[in-house]
Chain A
Amino acid sequence: MSRRNFLRCALLLPALARAASPTTVSPYPAVVPGHRLIFPRDHGAHPEFRTEWWYVTGALDTPRADIGFQLTFFRSRPGIAENLHSPLAPSQILFAHAALSLPGDRLRHSERSARANLGAGFSTSDCDVHIGAWQLAREGRSSGEIFRLRMHSANFAYELILEPTQPPMLQGDDGYSRKGHVPGLASYYVSWPQLQTTGTLILDGRRHAASGRAWFDHEWSTAILGGAAVGWDWVGINLADGGALMAFRLRDRQGSTVFAHAAWRQADGLVHRFDDRSLSFTPRRFWSSPRSAARYPVELEIRLGAHVLRTLPLLDDQELSTSRPTPLTYWEGLVKLEGSFNGRGYLEMTGYAGHLQL
Chain B
Amino acid sequence: MNTLAAWLIAAQFARRRTTSLLSLLAIALGVALGYAIHLINDTALADFRQAMRSVQGEPDAIVAPRDTTGSVGLALVEELTRDPAVLVVAPVIEVRVRVDQHALPVRLIGLDVFSAPAVMPALLPEGREAQASRAILDGGVYASPALLAKLALAPGDHLSLWRGNSRWPAVLAGQLPGSRPGDLLLVADIAWVQAHFGPPAGVGEARIRLAPGVDATRWRQALAERLPSDLLIRSDDDDSARVSNLSRAYRVNLNVLALVALLTGAFLVFANQLTAVAQRASQFALLGVLGLSPRRLMLQILGEALAIGLPGALLGLALGHALATAFTQTLGGDLGGGYFSGSAPTIIARPLPALGFLALGCAASLAGAAYPAWLNRQQDLAQALKSGFAEETASSSARHLWLPTVLGVLAYGLAQLPPVGDLPLAGYASIALLLVMGITAAPWLTQRVFAAGAELPLAAHQRIALQNVAQAPLLAQVAASGLIVSFALTISMVTMVSSFRLAVDRWLDEVLPAPLYLRGKATPLPDELLAALRQPDSPFARFEQTMHAALALDVQRPNVALIVREIDRDQPEARLPFTGAVSQPPPTQPVVWISEATQELYRLHSGQRVRLPLLGREIEVFIGGVWRDYVRQFGAIVISRSDYERLGGRFAASDLALWPQAGHSATAAAWLAPLAARFGCEVADAGEIRQLSLSIFDQSFAVTHALEAAAMLIGLFGLAVTLAANVWLRARELATLGALGFDRHMLSQAVILEGVLIALVGLLIGLACGIAIGAVLTYVINPQAFHWRMTLSVPWPSALAGAALTLAAATVASRYAARQATRLPLAQILADAQ
Interface residues of A (CB under 8 A from B): 9, 13, 16-17, 20-21, 78, 80-81, 84-90, 93, 113-115, 117-121, 130-133, 152, 154, 205, 323-327, 357-358
CB 8 Å contact bits of B68-98 with A (1 = contact, 0 = none): 0000001001100111101011010000000
With both beta carbons as reference points, the residue of chain A lying nearest to B87 in the complex is identified as A132
Asked whether, in the complex, the Cβ of B115 is within 8 Å of the Cβ of A119, the reply is: yes
Once the chains are docked, how many angstroms separate the CA of A89 from the CA of B194?
A: 9
Asked whether, in the complex, the Cβ of B137 is within 8 Å of the Cβ of A114, the reply is: no
| 21 pairs, CB–CB < 8 Å, chain A vs chain B | A9-B130, A16-B131, A17-B134, A17-B138, A20-B138, A81-B137, A81-B138, A81-B139, A81-B189, A84-B139, A84-B191, A86-B192, A119-B77, A119-B114, A120-B81, A132-B82, A154-B212, A323-B129, A326-B129, A357-B130, A358-B130
Asked whether, in the complex, the Cβ of A20 is within 8 Å of the Cβ of B135, the reply is: yes
How many of chain B's residues have a CB under 8 angstroms from any CB in A?
37
Q: Which residues of B contact A78 (CB under 8 A)?
A: 134, 137
Asked whether, in the complex, the Cβ of B195 is within 8 Å of the Cβ of A90, the reply is: no
Picked from B74, B81, B190, B213, the residue with its CB within 8 Å of the CB of A132 is: B81
Once the chains are docked, how many angstroms separate the CA of A113 from the CA of B138?
A: 17
A90-B129 CB under 8 A given contacts A20-B138, A115-B114, A205-B213: no
Asked whether, in the complex, the Cβ of A132 is within 8 Å of the Cβ of B129, the reply is: no
Asked whether, in the complex, the Cβ of A114 is within 8 Å of the Cβ of B114, the reply is: yes
Once the chains are docked, how many angstroms separate the CA of A88 from the CA of B207?
A: 16
Once the chains are docked, how many angstroms separate the CA of A78 from the CA of B213?
A: 35
Once the chains are docked, how many angstroms separate the CA of A4 from the CA of B136?
A: 25
Q: Identify whether the interface residues of B are mostly helix, strand, loop, or mixed.
A: mixed
Asked whether, in the complex, the Cβ of B91 is within 8 Å of the Cβ of A118, the reply is: yes
Q: Which 4 A-B pairs have the closest CB atoms?
A: A88-B191, A86-B195, A326-B130, A119-B81
Least CB distance, B201 to chain A, in whole angstroms = 7
Asked whether, in the complex, the Cβ of A81 is within 8 Å of the Cβ of B114, the reply is: no
A84-B195 CB under 8 A given contacts A9-B130, A115-B114, A325-B130: yes
Q: Which residues of A contact B83 (CB under 8 A)?
A: 133
CB 8 Å contact bits of B101-116 with A (1 = contact, 0 = none): 0000000000010110
**What would 12 more interface pairs be, CB under 8 Å, given A113-B114, A119-B77?**
A20-B138, A81-B138, A84-B139, A86-B194, A118-B190, A119-B78, A119-B112, A119-B114, A131-B81, A132-B82, A133-B84, A358-B131
Q: Which residues of B contact A152 (CB under 8 A)?
A: 84, 211
Asked whether, in the complex, the Cβ of B201 is within 8 Å of the Cβ of A81, the reply is: no
Determine whether B693 belongs to the interface, using a CB cutoff of 8 Å to chain A.
no
Q: Which residues of A contact B91 (CB under 8 A)?
A: 118
With both beta carbons as reference points, the residue of chain B lying nearest to A132 in the complex is identified as B81
Q: Which residues of A contact B145 (CB under 8 A)?
A: none
Determine whether B140 belongs to the interface, using a CB cutoff of 8 Å to chain A.
yes
Q: Identify whether the interface residues of A are mostly helix, strand, loop, or mixed.
A: loop
Least CB distance, A5 to chain B, in whole angstroms = 12
Determine whether B133 belongs to the interface, using a CB cutoff of 8 Å to chain A.
yes
Asked whether, in the complex, the Cβ of B137 is within 8 Å of the Cβ of A154, the reply is: no
Q: Which residues of A contact B129 (CB under 8 A)?
A: 323-324, 326-327
Q: Which residues of B contact A117 (CB under 8 A)?
A: 74, 78
Asked whether, in the complex, the Cβ of B84 is within 8 Å of the Cβ of A90, the reply is: no
Q: Which residues of A contact B171 (CB under 8 A)?
A: 20
Interface residues of B (CB under 8 A from A): 74, 77-78, 81-84, 86, 88-89, 91, 112, 114-115, 128-131, 133-135, 137-140, 171, 189-192, 194-195, 201, 203, 211-213
Asked whether, in the complex, the Cβ of A81 is within 8 Å of the Cβ of B135, the reply is: no
Picked from B84, B191, B211, the residue with its CB within 8 Å of the CB of A86 is: B191
Tell me which of A84, A154, A357 has the highest count of chain B C-beta atoms within 10 A of its own C-beta.
A84
Once the chains are docked, how many angstroms separate the CA of A327 from the CA of B128?
A: 10
Asked whether, in the complex, the Cβ of A89 is within 8 Å of the Cβ of B114, the reply is: no
Once the chains are docked, how many angstroms separate the CA of A280 from the CA of B134?
A: 38
Least CB distance, B110 to chain A, in whole angstroms = 9
Picked from B82, B130, B134, B192, the residue with its CB within 8 Å of the CB of A84 is: B192
Picked from A80, A87, A88, the residue with its CB within 8 Å of the CB of B134 is: A80
Q: Which residues of B contact A131 (CB under 8 A)?
A: 81
A87-B74 CB under 8 A given contacts A81-B192, A118-B190, A132-B82: yes
Once the chains are docked, how many angstroms separate the CA of A152 from the CA of B211?
A: 9
Once the chains are docked, how many angstroms separate the CA of A16 from the CA of B88?
A: 28
Q: Which residues of A contact B194 (CB under 8 A)?
A: 86, 88
Once the chains are docked, how many angstroms separate the CA of A326 from the CA of B131?
A: 9
Once the chains are docked, how many angstroms separate the CA of A78 from the CA of B84?
A: 28
Once the chains are docked, how many angstroms separate the CA of A70 from the CA of B193?
A: 37
Q: Which residues of A contact B135 (CB under 8 A)?
A: 20
Q: Which residues of A contact B190 (CB under 8 A)?
A: 88, 118
Least CB distance, A75 to chain B, in whole angstroms = 14
Least CB distance, B510 to chain A, in whole angstroms = 45
Least CB distance, A48 to chain B, in whole angstroms = 19
Once the chains are docked, how many angstroms separate the CA of A131 from the CA of B88?
A: 10
With both beta carbons as reference points, the residue of chain A lying nearest to B130 in the complex is identified as A326
Once the chains are docked, how many angstroms separate the CA of A304 from the CA of B129?
A: 42
With both beta carbons as reference points, the residue of chain B lying nearest to A24 in the complex is identified as B138
Once the chains are docked, how many angstroms separate the CA of A120 from the CA of B213?
A: 23
Least CB distance, B729 to chain A, in whole angstroms = 78
Q: Which residues of B contact A89 (CB under 8 A)?
A: 191, 195
Picked from A21, A115, A118, A205, the residue with its CB within 8 Å of the CB of B138 is: A21
Q: Which residues of A contact B81 (CB under 8 A)?
A: 114, 119-120, 131-133
Least CB distance, A94 to chain B, in whole angstroms = 9
With both beta carbons as reference points, the residue of chain A lying nearest to B212 in the complex is identified as A154
Q: Which residues of A contact B211 (CB under 8 A)?
A: 152, 154
Once the chains are docked, how many angstroms separate the CA of A17 from the CA of B140?
A: 11
